[in-house]
């Protein structure tokens, strides 16, 4: 089997971490008997430098021909980089928004996994952490409050602002289907989070999710109000497998969930559309402060590559092998500087990538 992968190295530490993710992907592909054909795509500052804009239509068209796209990260230092002298629609981040929109990436996945070896970075108490947690937040990305009509008016000298939270049942159904499909690749539990005691949009959300659940009798569905979920994430995070929620709730809950894991260099993410296609990238930014120094942690990008194998290519065994290799390297005591602790061996970006690849072989 041969797969076509678009690669956006991007800016800052992007090229360094993507190089290591590719090394790991190639090792897994060789071991599990498939091949990956990469095409490098320009986006963000790297595209501005060549084309004057952060994403060209040709790049979008090229991305659409791929099975999946792996990205490093984009953007520079807003205070010093000339990219930020440009109008907002020509800055690096505009490229990412345009790409997400053009590819109709409506489902955002952010896993929050606590590694035994990195427990010290978790801000929760030991008795709460227990044996750790492994959850995935599935956030609707293209509807809801952030995309509804908004306006600010002045009436009788008083300013009044309105934002609208709109969802139709089709938008809810397609993300619910993704959520249940992905739960089947995990521990087969979906917790749908809403505010159905107050909001009509949440009552529709709940009813459509219940409808979809009928097609997944092997997946356990529960519902939770968003305010309770915010508490439960820090009270008993191990109860969650897949958390399925709308755009704004997901925005807030996914940041909360990632904070409880402790380390920004470890957090992967994926954005999917209705097909198998997805854009896979670390949750962190381009870290211009440490770019080019071979000290960035490549693990978030490597774990994003594992998600690419699992969700876009259905190469679950290869994805498992990458995740196991990451765990083993941590167990063996290797750390990049951002997750370094006493008694461990500090390694650079390249050595971390090489050691993970070694453990896959």
Q: Can you give the binding site for ligand NAD, defined by CB under 6 A? A: 13, 73-76, 78, 93, 96, 264-265, 281, 284-290, 296-297, 300, 338
255, 276, 314, 332: which one is catalytic?
255
C-beta closer to ligand NAD: residue 289 or 342: 289
C-beta closer to ligand NAD: residue 143 or 353: 353
Task: Give CA–CA dist 223/166, Å, rounded.
Answer: 20
C-beta closer to ligand NAD: residue 9 or 76: 76
Closest by alpha carbon to 305, among 325, 282, 327?
Answer: 282
Are 233 and 127 spatial neighbours (Cβ–Cβ below 8 Å)? no
For the four alpha carbons of 273, 279, 282 and 283, in that order, the dihedral sign comes to negative
Coil, helix or strand for 170?
helix
Q: 75-102 burial, b if ≥16 CB within 10 A, otherwise e?
A: bbeeeebebbebeeeebbbbbbebbbee
Least distance in angstroms from the C-beta of 264 to ligand NAD: 5
State yes or no: is 146 an active-site residue. yes
Least distance in angstroms from the C-beta of 294 to ligand NAD: 11
Cβ-based neighbour number of residue 155 at 10 Å = 7
State yes or no: is 195 an active-site residue. yes
Total H helices, total E strands in the chain: 12, 14
Q: Which residue has the tokens 């969930």?
A: 257
163, 251, 316, 338: which one is catalytic?
251
State yes or no: is 57 an active-site residue. no
Least distance in angstroms from the C-beta of 282 to ligand NAD: 6
State yes or no: is 316 an active-site residue. no
Are 271 and 108 spatial neighbours (Cβ–Cβ below 8 Å)? yes
Residue 81 CB contacts under 8 Å (≥ 6 apart), including other chains? 45, 288
Least distance in angstroms from the C-beta of 300 to ligand NAD: 6
66, 98, 178, 195: which one is catalytic?
195
State yes or no: is 235 an active-site residue. no
C-beta closer to ligand NAD: residue 25 or 29: 25
Task: Please give the angle made by the CA atoms of 309, 310 and 314, to the nearest 5 degrees.
Answer: 90
Residue 291 CB contacts under 8 Å (≥ 6 apart), including other chains? 11, 12, 13, 16
Closest by alpha carbon to 223, among 202, 253, 198?
Answer: 202
Task: Give CA–CA dist 230/327, Å, rounded.
Answer: 28
Least distance in angstroms from the C-beta of 73 to ligand NAD: 4
C-beta closer to ligand NAD: residue 205 or 311: 311
C-beta closer to ligand NAD: residue 20 or 67: 20
Least distance in angstroms from the C-beta of 322 to ligand NAD: 17
Active site residues: 146, 195, 227, 251, 255
């Amino acid at each position: 089997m041969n797969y076509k992968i678009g690669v956006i190295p991007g800016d800052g530490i992007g090229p360094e971490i993507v190089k290591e993710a590719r090394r790991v992907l190639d090792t897994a592909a060789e071991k599990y008997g498939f091949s990956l054909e990469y095409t490098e795509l320009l986006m963000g500052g790297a595209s501005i430098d060549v084309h004057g804009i952060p994403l060209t239509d040709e790049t979008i068209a090229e991305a659409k021909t791929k099975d999946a796209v792996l990205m490093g990260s984009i953007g520079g230092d807003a205070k010093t980089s000339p990219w930020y002298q440009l109008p907002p629609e020509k800055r690096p981040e505009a490229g990412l928004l345009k790409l997400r929109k053009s590819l109709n990436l409506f489902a955002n996945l952010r896993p929050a996994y606590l590694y035994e070896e990195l427990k010290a970075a978790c801000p929760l108490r030991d008795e709460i952490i227990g044996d750790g947690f492994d959850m995935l937040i599935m956030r609707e990305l293209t509807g809801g409050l952030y995309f509804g009509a908004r306006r600010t008016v002045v009436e009788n000298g008083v300013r009044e602002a309105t934002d609208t939270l709109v969802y139709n049942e089709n938008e809810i159904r397609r993300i619910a289907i993704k959520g249940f499909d992905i739960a089947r690749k995990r521990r087969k539990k979906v917790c749908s989070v809403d505010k159905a005691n107050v909001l009509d949009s949440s009552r529709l959300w709940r009813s459509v999710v219940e409808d979809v659940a009928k097609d997944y009798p092997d997946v356990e569905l529960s519902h939770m109000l968003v305010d309770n979920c915010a508490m439960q994430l820090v009270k008993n995070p191990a109860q969650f497998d897949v958390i399925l929620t709308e755009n704004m709730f997901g925005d807030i809950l996914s940041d909360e969930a990632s904070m409880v894991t402790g380390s920004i260099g470890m957090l992967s993410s994926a954005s999917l559309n209705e097909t198998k296609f997805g854009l896979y990238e670390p949750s962190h930014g381009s870290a211009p402060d440490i770019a080019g120094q071979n000290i960035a942690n490549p693990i978030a990008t490597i774990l994003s590559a594992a998600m690419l194998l699992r969700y876009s290519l259905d190469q679950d065994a290869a994805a498992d092998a990458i995740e196991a290799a990451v765990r083993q390297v941590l167990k063996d005591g290797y750390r990049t500087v951002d997750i370094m602790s006493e008694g461990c061996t500090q390694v650079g970006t390249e050595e971390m990538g090489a050691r993970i690849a070694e453990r896959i072989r």
